[in-house]
Structure 1
């Protein structure tokens, strides 16, 4: 009975409405994902600076800890507010963390090409990499981590 009602509602709204709703939902998710990602970047930087500059921790160890904290923060917020998924949290977290690592690898590759090989300032490369990394991670997380 419930499936008949859902089917009737879907046919009454038409296929164009479903596409519009899907695009609208994806845009809302992208905005939330971007805001949450921004909070993760800020958290990552603050924790890194505290661990490395204030506590004197090795930069590689400080980076792993700060990045892991930011990825964990972003996963929790995205699970609650962006994709609204609370099932299979361990599997989803492991996938989300793997996607987070792809962003680190992509940024490092861009550093190798643009900073090391071409001499472009690392700050510009980091800033320029953010939209590319954001787009890649959004698609991967939407299709794989929170599917």
Structure 2
């Protein structure tokens, strides 16, 4: 083991590959949730004419539920305390929803940006924040 391969202080050896696998799995699962979220948002907002905030609430809830099931089974392999984990996962998802609401309110509602672009641009930031929170709290 070289100095560059040494784990960070407080980190156990051999954890990095698992961390990277979880991040990769979370990102793939997140991609499916993003696709579902965005497709539902476009359908509800553009096709059905729902207000962007209502369309966002429904589309985000669909994405959160999709992601919980897939992350519980594939990414984190946690099948115990599913109700508690879902409540926590959903709470983390609502943090992301609040962040997206704020961005939509400011950028689309106040500054006139296209709500579709704001929604799409918010997704990577929300994904990163939620990975950290879910890994440390929902699936700990």
- Summarize deviations over 1:15-73 as a string: whole Å, max 9, x none: 75x7452121111111111111111111123334445566x474455543332222111
TM-score by length of 1: 0.72
Shift of 1:125: 3.5
CA RMSD of aligned residues (A): 2.9
Give the greater-gyration-radius structure (CA).
1
Residues 112 and 48 of structure 1: is their aligned pair in 2 closer, same or farther, counting only changes over 3 Å?
Answer: closer
- Structure 1 unaligned regions, length at least 5: 1-14
Match runs of 1:1-147 below 5 Å? 16=7, 19-51=12-44, 56=48, 58-59=50-51, 61-118=54-111, 120-147=113-140
- Structure 2 unaligned regions, length at least 5: 1-5
In the aligned structure 2, how far is the partner of 1:115 from the partner of 1:50? Answer: 18
TM-score by length of 2: 0.75
More helix, by proportion: 1
**Kept in 1: contact 2:85–2:139 (CA 8 A):** yes
Number of residue-to-residue matches in the alignment:
132
- Summarize deviations over 1:70-117 as a string: whole Å, max 9, x none: 211110100011111010000000000111111111122233444455
**Kept in 1: contact 2:42–2:116 (CA 8 A):** no
